[in-house]
A = this chain, B = another copy of it.
């Protein structure tokens, strides 16, 4: 199904990613309909229609499916059953498979490894006893994570030398978990890339990310790595897109490490089956934003150029950072984006700021 101007894109989820997707749809003459449980949320103000309902409200979902020409999602914790229910009624892009895969860290890591990509060593952990064996196998430090529903560092805990393994296990509850070997990385980085309905692939330049308290704080594009590593990162993203027969934008998060010969090596950390915070720099920093690229892909349209406009830095405005909006507005080189969230809360992503430098300018 190829959308024509005037068609409606249904979006599951009402956060800032949905808001920016809706804005990109407006640019090219498409309508959006947001489906989410929240009464008030960033995406609603940018959409032509909204349905406020639970993700298991089948009546609301059926009506939503009827209103939309294609459905997409803006976050990966939408229940798979919701997407499966919709997929029987309307095209859902990307589909349920990418969603199911990335909702479970064990399935995701297994998929990546089976694809021939380098990942940190990992072991599935069913209970405290299994964790003791897993720690013995992978060594310390290692990171224990719940298999499902983790984001921004939630649902994970570091097991160090001397940590009480059983106690760490208890802090994460009784859900199935995964233990991952610790990666001593030089940088965290990611590739945001898109695949069209016809199988065309377009990747943005490899960018590097700094996290603070497990939340993305800054992205800079391009990443400060060799040209070979940057090209390899794009090849990795392409292989993931192909393997999933994916339609839309996804992000592949990676670690840049050094092998024992001192050469850069990439370890794949995780996949986000959606537009991604580490791609926000593309709004000003690339010829096409990740949001328009996703809209084009799920509309069945050709992708557009990912050409970067200079060296780009993106800073998230988290919590009280957003109180600096007046200072940011007054700076001639800072592009301000605010998500329309009325209440400032700690660790809440309120907006972001982009700065573009000439390509030749030396990094700080």
Contact = CB atoms under 8 A, between A and B. Distances in A.
Interface of A: 4-6, 19, 23, 26-31, 44-48, 296, 301-302, 304-305, 309, 322, 325, 329-330, 332-333, 336-342, 351
Contacts of A48: 44-45
Contacts of A340: 5-6, 26, 29-31
Nearest to A296: B329
Given A44-B48, A329-B301, A338 B5 contact: yes
Contacts of A329: 296, 301-302, 304
* Protomer copies: 2
Contacts of A19: 26
A333 B305 contact: yes
A322 B5 contact: yes
Contacts of A304: 329, 332
A29 B305 contact: no
A197 to B, nearest CB: 13
Contact of A26 (B45, B305, B325, B341): B45
Given A5-B325, A45-B48, A29 B330 contact: no
A339 B29 contact: yes
Nearest to A8: B45
A330 B302 contact: yes
B28 A45 contact: no
A339 B341 CA distance: 27
Contact of A337 (B28, B31, B45): B28
A29 B338 contact: yes
Contacts of A339: 29
Top 6 nearest A-B pairs (CB, nearest first) are A29-B338, A45-B48, A6-B342, A5-B338, A305-B332, A29-B340
Contacts of A341: 29
Contact of A28 (B4, B29, B309, B336): B336
A339 B27 CA distance: 7
Contact of A29 (B26, B44, B296, B351): B351
Given A23-B26, A301-B329, 5 more contacts: A5-B322, A19-B26, A28-B338, A29-B325, A296-B329
A48 B44 CA distance: 7
A295 to B, nearest CB: 11
A331 to B, nearest CB: 9
A342 B31 CA distance: 11
29 contacts: A4-B325, A5-B322, A5-B325, A5-B338, A5-B340, A23-B23, A23-B27, A23-B46, A26-B46, A27-B336, A27-B337, A27-B338, A29-B325, A29-B337, A29-B338, A29-B339, A29-B340, A30-B340, A31-B340, A45-B47, A45-B48, A296-B329, A301-B329, A302-B330, A304-B329, A304-B332, A305-B332, A305-B333, A309-B309
A177 to B, nearest CB: 38
Contacts of A46: 23, 26, 46
Nearest to A27: B337
A44 B45 CA distance: 11
A199 to B, nearest CB: 15
Nearest to A47: B45
Contacts of A325: 4-5, 29
Contacts of A322: 5
A325 B300 CA distance: 13
A51 to B, nearest CB: 16
A27 B338 CA distance: 6
